[in-house]
Amino acid sequence: MEHKDLVIIGGGSAGMAAAVAAYDAGIKDILILERTEFLGGILNQCIHNGFGLHEFKEELTGPEFLTRFVDQVKERGIAYELEANVLSLSKDKVVTYLSAKGKTEIQAKAVIMAAGCYERNSGAIGIPGTRPAGVITAGQAQLYLNEFGYMVGKKVFILGSGDIGLIMARRMTLEGAKVLGVAELMPYSNGLNRNIQQCLKDFDIPLYLSHTVTKIIGKEHLEAIEISQVDEKMRPIPGTEQRFDVDTLLLSIGLIPNNSILDQAGAIPSSTRGSKVNQNMETSIPGVFSCGNVLHVHDLVDYVVEEGRQAGAAAAAYLQGKEGKSEARIECVPGNGIGYVVPSWIDLEQAGDSIPLKFRCRKPSKNVYISISFNGKEIKKMLKLAMIPSEMEIMKLPKNLLDSNQGKLEVSLVAKGE
């Protein structure tokens, strides 16, 4: 069996950033395993711009952004294998993968999971009606168009206002398709405001809020869809049906961490469908870390690389024996109005001076305080003028506000004036 100090599963933004950070912290024996033919992950097909404003202070396209990380990986001589598909990870950190070389087992001292996410699809939500060709995820249509040069349709409707759907509305419009509209189940958009502007409004594409697709019509190929307005409990309202004759329905209805390897390894799962991690991105399996969209779905790649670096640095510290063992734990939980919190645990003895807390609100909120309480006592409060679920919030919590290595830390929203 081969041995490696650090094996990174996934050569996208998170994995490359983690590799670079671990290398720079002194770990040289690294292997990145990437399942596709290219480093860079999903950014390879995200040819639009808007990436890197935090990271590089300039606006880059996806391929430009990822190339900067590929360059960093190559400059350091960090080893990577392409078309290397990880089959399993054991609790004692044996990584088994398949490639044209054969089936290989590597005993790793530390592992970073950075396998990204996949798109929720029509199967998962079971849209009523038939199951013809022409109903595909927005990311799949993006792959067909941006890497292979094929258009999946000419008359398009989009379900879900996630950013990939909005980006594809513009992209397909510019390539000559007619995009008839976007339906969003929620009463607010799930994409970034600027994408509503530059991808929909720029091209007069209507956005139907509080609407969903209630019927797929067409035997072999999609011929039409029916959308309906939904009530406050998201149930379709009879009599509000509208029919659109389209050959394509793109789905942009959410992303799900591609975390099966860690789930099968026995890492404790989290409500984000990733694994539970501590402030160092370490899962319940010691020496196994997780970062990026496989942990929780991010809104910006800039935050993905930040998290990747955090995991890379923490893995390096673990490998260098800087991380001690401590059973005491603070549990981080979402409170009122909050969907989830990463990390799930804080181990105060291992934490740096400032602990980044990442979370999302459940619904759009204006003029609210983000309140952080520890063992029932509020320890930090911050006013937010506006919060939306599509934006991930990051709050840095000074370590010295926590006066114990045990207990419960809760992030919640409190309306101004309460």
Footprint of another protein on residues 109-168 (CB under 8 A)? Answer: 118-119, 121-124, 126, 128-134, 136-137, 139-140, 143-154
Q: How many residues bind another protein (CB under 8 A)?
A: 79
Task: Please check whether residue 61 is in contact with residue 47, taking contact to mean a CB–CB distance below 8 angstroms.
Answer: yes
Q: How do beta strands 338-342 and 354-361 pair?
A: antiparallel
Q: Which CB sits closer to another protein, 144 or 244?
A: 144
Between 102 and 417, whose beta carbon lies closer to another protein? 102
Cβ neighbours of residue 401 under 8 Å, at least 6 residues apart? 374, 379, 380
Q: For the chain, what is the radius of gyration of the CA atoms?
A: 22
Rounded Cα–Cα distance for residues 105 and 156 (Å): 45
Subset of residues 209 to 268 that bind another protein, contact rule: CB under 8 A: 216, 219-221, 247-248, 256, 258, 260, 263
> For residues 84 and 315, which CB has a smaller minimum distance to another protein in the complex?
84
Q: Which is nearer to another protein, 82 or 348 (CB)?
A: 82
CB 164, min distance to another protein, A: 11
Calculate the CA 414 to chain-centre distance: 26
Cβ-based nearer residue to another protein, 137 or 284: 137
CB of 353 to another protein, least distance (A): 27
Q: Which helix (H) or strand (E) holds 397?
A: strand 393-398
**Total residues belonging to the chain:** 418
* CB of 313 vs another protein, minimal distance in Å: 25
Contact call for residues 78 and 30 (beta carbons, < 8 A): yes
According to DSSP, the β-strands at 102-113 and 94-99 are antiparallel
- Restricted to residues 17-76, the positions that interact with another protein (CB under 8 A) are 35, 37-38, 44, 47-50, 53, 59, 61, 63-64, 67
Among 77, 100, 204, 377, binds another protein (CB under 8 A): 100
x-marked contacts with another protein along 298-317 as a string, rule CB under 8 A = -xx-----------------
**CB nearer to another protein: pick between 136 and 338:** 136
Residues 343-402, interacting with another protein (CB under 8 A): 391
Q: What DSSP designation does 189 have?
A: -
CA distance 295 to 274: 4
Q: Which stretch binds another protein (CB under 8 A): 73-81, 98-106, 336-344, 405-413?
A: 98-106
Cβ within 8 Å of residue 1, ≥6 positions away: 94, 105, 106, 107
When the beta carbons of 2 and 378 are compared against another protein, the nearer one is 2
Token pair listed for 190: 């799930």
- The minimum distance between CB 302 and another protein, in angstroms, equals 9
24 vs 64, which CB is nearer to another protein?
64
Place of tokens 């929720």: 120
Q: How far is the CB of 345 from another protein (least distance, A)?
A: 23
Q: Which stretch binds another protein (CB under 8 A): 20-28, 80-88, 355-363, 367-375?
A: 80-88
Phi-psi region for residue 93, left (φ > 0), alpha (ψ -120 to 50) or beta?
left
Q: How far is the CB of 130 from another protein (least distance, A)?
A: 5
How far is Cα 366 from Cα 383, in angstroms, rounded to an integer? 10
Q: In this complex, which beta carbon is closest to another protein, that of residue 25 or of residue 209?
A: 209
What values do phi and psi take at 317, rounded to 5? Answer: -60, -40
- CA dist 83 and 64 (Å) reads 22
Which of 174, 204, 238, 239: binder of another protein (CB under 8 A)? 174
